């Protein structure tokens, strides 16, 4: 069977990290919505400029632009056996893009990997989060105890929006917009839930054990 594997979870749950671990381990191509958007802005392309306008003015990126970026990336990937999506679909309107992709790639099944995390722990984690301004890799002040990016050797920074108020807002948006997507997906698809409060390697182990069973069929 050919599968779309979707990683969902609130910021701070480590879903991006876990999606990458799984992609690397099982050689599955990955579509990372956040990174595609960042790259498009950096490239200063026509679409990139439009996206920059929306994000800097605090508006949501229109779905048709989102569609285009995602489909361009899928064209580059070709016809994979399985494919991973990270950070997408986050709202109901994006859900129908996933159905379109499922059809066009002739995928048999959607599997959702949902990482759960309490607001309290997310706040603690994000408060201790440092980001590399160059590669966007994140580090924890309390776990990694490093001041510069291991890869780029540049000083790590704190994100402007990594504060309690912004986090509470993200939780609110997640409940209102992403939770309905999860509810909808869970009706006809396989949802695997994992405790995002655990350590990275332990979550990776749990996900790998579950997904191996799924990928067998
Ligand atoms: Zn870096």
> What tens digit of pLDDT does each residue of 1-54 get?
999 999 999 888 989 999 999 999 999 999 998 889 888 998 999 999 999 888
Residue 98 has which token pair? 């996933």
Domain assignments of the chain as residue spans, ordered by start:
3-118+178-216
pLDDT digits (tens, 9 = 90+) for 119-128: 889 888 888 8
Ranges under pLDDT 50 in the chain: none
Residue 79 has which token pair? 């016809």
Give the pLDDT of residue 122.
87
Cα(39) to centroid of ligand 1, in Å?
A: 15
Instruction: Return the CATH fold of 3-118+178-216.
Output: Rossmann fold (3.40.50)
Q: How far apart are CA 36 and CA 33, in angstroms?
A: 5
Q: How far apart are CA 84 and CA 53, in angstroms?
A: 28
Give the pLDDT of residue 168.
85
**Tokens 């912004």 appear where?**
166
Give the pLDDT of residue 125.
86
Q: How far apart are CA 204 and CA 198, in angstroms?
A: 10
Q: Do 153 and 44 contact (CB within 8 A), yes or no?
A: no
Q: In what order do the strands lie in the sheet with 109-116?
A: 30-32, 82-86, 3-9, 109-116, 190-195
Q: How far apart are CA 55 and CA 158, in angstroms?
A: 19
Kindly give, in sequence order, each residue whose CB lies less than 8 Å from that of residue 118, ignoring residues fewer than 6 positions away. 197
pTM attached to this predicted model = 0.86
Give the pLDDT of residue 164.
80
Pinpoint the alpha helices (H) of the chain.
15-26, 33-43, 46-56, 63-77, 92-104, 119-127, 164-173, 179-188, 200-216
Give the pLDDT of residue 38.
86
Give the pLDDT of residue 124.
87
Cα(180) to centroid of ligand 1, in Å?
A: 34
Give the pLDDT of residue 18.
95
Give the pLDDT of residue 32.
92
Q: Which residues are annotated as a binding site for AMP?
A: 38, 87-90, 94, 159, 170
Peptide bond into 55 cis (omega under 30): no
Cα(158) to centroid of ligand 1, in Å?
A: 13
Q: Which residues are annotated as a binding site?
A: 12-17, 38, 87-90, 94, 129, 159, 170, 198
Residue 109 has which token pair? 């099944």
């Amino acid at each position: 069977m050919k599968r779309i594997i979707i990683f969902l979870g609130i910021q701070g749950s480590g879903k991006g990290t876990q999606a990458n671990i799984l992609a690397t381990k099982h050689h599955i191509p990955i579509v990372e919505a956040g990174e595609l958007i960042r790259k498009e802005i950096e490239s200063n392309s026509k679409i990139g400029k439009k996206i920059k306008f929306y994000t800097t003015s605090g508006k949501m990126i229109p779905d048709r632009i989102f569609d285009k970026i995602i489909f361009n990336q899928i064209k580059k990937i070709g016809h994979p056996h399985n494919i991973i999506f990270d950070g997408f679909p986050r709202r109901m309107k994006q859900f129908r893009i996933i159905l379109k992709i499922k059809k066009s790639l002739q995928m048999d099944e959607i599997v959702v990997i949902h990482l759960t995390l309490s607001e309290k722990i997310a706040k603690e984690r994000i408060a201790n989060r440092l980001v590399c301004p160059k590669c966007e890799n994140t580090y924890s002040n309390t776990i990694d105890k490093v001041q510069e990016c291991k890869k780029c050797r540049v000083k790590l920074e704190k994100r402007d929006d990594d504060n309690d108020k912004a986090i509470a807002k993200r939780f609110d948006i997640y409940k209102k917009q992403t939770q309905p997507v999860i509810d909808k997906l869970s009706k006809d698809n396989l949802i695997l839930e994992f405790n995002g409060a655990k350590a990275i390697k332990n979550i990776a182990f749990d996900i790998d054990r579950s997904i191996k069973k799924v990928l067998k069929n």
